[in-house]
Structure 1
Amino acid sequence: MTSWSTSLATLYYGILADAVDWRSFTSGPVVDLGGGNGHVAIDLATRFPSLEFIVQDLLPNESAFKATVPPEPVSRVTYQVQDAFNPQPEDLEPSAYFLKAVFHDWPDIACIQILKILVSKMLKFGSTVIMMDQCLQEGKFPLYFEGVIRHSDIFMFSLFGAKERTLPEWEAMFATAHSRLRLEKAVQPSGSESAVMQFAIT
């Protein structure tokens, strides 16, 4: 993650910022589920001053990271110890959940378990799920690039029983978690292995 955040981060931050109408999520905090040290949340908070973020992870390491960031926007980014497989805090009223490269580490059954937990908040507060993750496009990548992605697919399966997914596979997985959970928007820049996908209860 350190290597990613110091190399490709600038490119992906821009893609993420442009792909979503972030300014619309002001009814409650945006929850960065599995957000690590909060580097994505802090970048988004810098770009969108009207938003507040909660970074959830098992072992949030905010102290060292916050020390390198100016007080603003750190004041709008808080941290919370949270297992994604446990119910979300009862007092949390999120406008959106954001997951960056979380689900490609898990098999469908585990992803669906996490989604079912989030659905209860989505139904109650109209929350949205925004996801940035690998999205395979058959025959649409340069041969070498496709080879890299297929290698990642095998790697994820070997380590975690997980996989990289196509957009129809993402949609099917979300629909399995809840019959009304639908894809609202998907943005995948040309040549990017990652897509930004937005799901809501319809």
Structure 2
Amino acid sequence: MITPAPTLLSLAKTINTLTQAIITKLTTHNVPEPTFTSSTDHPLWQDPTLDLNTTKARLVDAATSLTCLVAGPLTFHREVFGSHFDLAALQVMLEHRVYDQIPLAGVCMTLSELGERVRLDPAKLARLLRLLATLNIAEEVEDGVFRHTAFSEVLVRDRELRAQVEMQLRDCRLDEMHKASEYPAAEESHLSPFKYRWGTPFYEWYEKNPENGVRFALAQEVIAKLDRSSAALVEWIKTSGHPEGRLINVGGGSGHVALELAKQLPTWTFTVQDISETMFSENSQCAGPSLLSRVEFSQHDFFQPQPVVPEDVKAWYIRSCLHNWGDDDCVRVLRQFAPALEARPECSVLINESIVPARGTVPLREEHLVRQVDVAMMVIANSKQRSEQDFRNLILKADRRYEVVRVIRLPGTMGVIEFRLRK
């Protein structure tokens, strides 16, 4: 049965209902409503205990649809093709550290003083800031006087978010992206638009450019905060029947996920595997000794066979790695677990990835974010986001003895697909 098309009034009613639900939840928890000058960590934006993610996604979905219907297709496309000017203005703000010069906590600064500090023409700086102010990424409180909003201040306070924004603007806004159709259909990472632009595949480029590699590591941490919740992984651990044990984080990079899990699960220990210890060493400096006593590093290339593990290991988990690789490379990675699983058949492998939802099963905004990452991976590594069936196909192609024993899907797109050797 075809769902009736939304109308202006039906969308408005949906918006009202969902807004009331959010206000009721905030009131129950004695939380004030957010404003554009709110703290960057307002509970509505950051606190998962409010359990409002689905409601928020549906509200944004309805509000976006209402905006599109009211504005019409011409205005919609005008905003789309003009959005690169917004990104260019934002890039200037970050590269010239404009936002860093504006005081925090609502304190204002004049254009003349700001221009002098960042050595930019005040008149041109004003034009860029006024463009961004229309997106609430700054506020002009009076003519020529600006201050932060929550949406600009966060780019000063949150170094991981800033690293992600800078990485996308500097490293991944590639002319080659627009020529993607010219490239072969094969999925080898060395054929990516990123490689054609910079002359080197994605990971090799960051290894050869360590200052950009540090920014890349920081950028991955904010992705975990934004839309790569560990909730499905925590759910597996809590329902595994093991009150304690060790998990091996394959391709764990900086170890930020293992460290976060260690905070939540005091009876568990973790091993972070990666080809280089550099990112882990830098990130772990911020962790206390009690936490580091339960999180260790082990050098390993996940294209090589997994070593046999100690008795306390309950599972390996590979998180947000496979979407960086084409199908053939993913099969190679998954195949490396077979020898260790033969030695420890009671252990599991957990694929913790964003799972592309079936059409119509999640709010459009959630699906849009997944599809954005899908295109980003096409550009960066000639890889892709995958559906549950895609992952099942990869697992069986890697080894016919593998079987999927459990799939955990929670609100949002991150999930866990658990497989073992068939008994």
Same fold (TM over 0.5): yes
Structure 2 partner of 1:136: 356
The CA deviation at 1:6 is 4.5
CA gap 1:135/1:14 in 2 versus in 1, 3 angstroms: closer
Instruction: Select which of 322, 333, 345 maps to 1:103.
Output: 322
Further displaced range: 176-185 or 105-114: 176-185
Q: Is the 8 A contact 1:52 1:76 kept in 2?
A: yes
* DSSP-derived class of the 2:337 partner: helix
The CA deviation at 1:25 is 7.8
The CA deviation at 1:97 is 0.8
The CA deviation at 1:50 is 2.9
Q: Does 1:195 align with 2:415?
A: yes
Alpha-carbon distance in structure 2 between the residues aligned to 1:167 and 1:32: 21
Further displaced range: 95-104 or 49-58: 49-58
CA gap 1:157/1:8 in 2 versus in 1, 3 angstroms: closer
What do the CA deviations read for 1:84-133 (whole angstroms, capped 9, x no partner)? Answer: 1122345x334311111010111111111111111110121122111210
Q: How does 1:34-49 map to 2 (within 5 A)?
A: 34-49=251-266
Using CA pairs under 8 Å that are at least 6 residues apart, name the structure with larger relative contact order, 1 or 2.
Answer: 1
Structure 1 partner of 2:373: 152
Give the letter for the 2:330 counterpart: C
Further displaced range: 64-73 or 33-42: 64-73
Give the letter for the 1:154 counterpart: V
Alpha-carbon distance in structure 1 between the residues aligned to 2:263 and 2:295: 10
TM-score (norm. length: structure 2): 0.43
Alpha-carbon distance in structure 2 between the residues aligned to 1:105 and 1:201: 25
* DSSP-derived class of the 1:151 partner: helix
Q: Is the 8 A contact 1:46 1:73 kept in 2?
A: yes
Structure 1 partner of 2:401: 180
Q: How does 1:4-43 map to 2 (within 5 A)?
A: 5-6=221-222, 8-9=224-225, 12-20=229-237, 21=239, 24=242, 29-43=246-260
Give the letter for the 2:408 counterpart: V
Give the letter for the 2:401 counterpart: R
The CA deviation at 1:36 is 1.1
Aligned residues: 199
Give the letter for the 1:201 counterpart: L
Instruction: Select which of 29, 46, 67 maps to 2:285.
Output: 67
4+ long deviations beyond 6 Å: none
The CA deviation at 1:13 is 3.1
* DSSP-derived class of the 1:109 partner: helix
Alpha-carbon distance in structure 2 between the residues aligned to 1:8 and 1:78: 20
Further displaced range: 54-63 or 1-10: 1-10
RMSD value, Cα? 2.4
Alpha-carbon distance in structure 2 between the residues aligned to 1:104 and 1:120: 24
CA gap 1:106/1:6 in 2 versus in 1, 3 angstroms: closer
Structure 1 partner of 2:335: 116
**Structure 1 gap segments, 5+ residues each:** none
Structure 1 partner of 2:390: 169
Alpha-carbon distance in structure 2 between the residues aligned to 1:7 and 1:83: 23
**Structure 2 gap segments, 5+ residues each:** 1-216
Instruction: Determine which structure has more spread, i.e. the larger CA radius of gyration.
Output: 2
Q: Which has the higher strand share?
A: 1
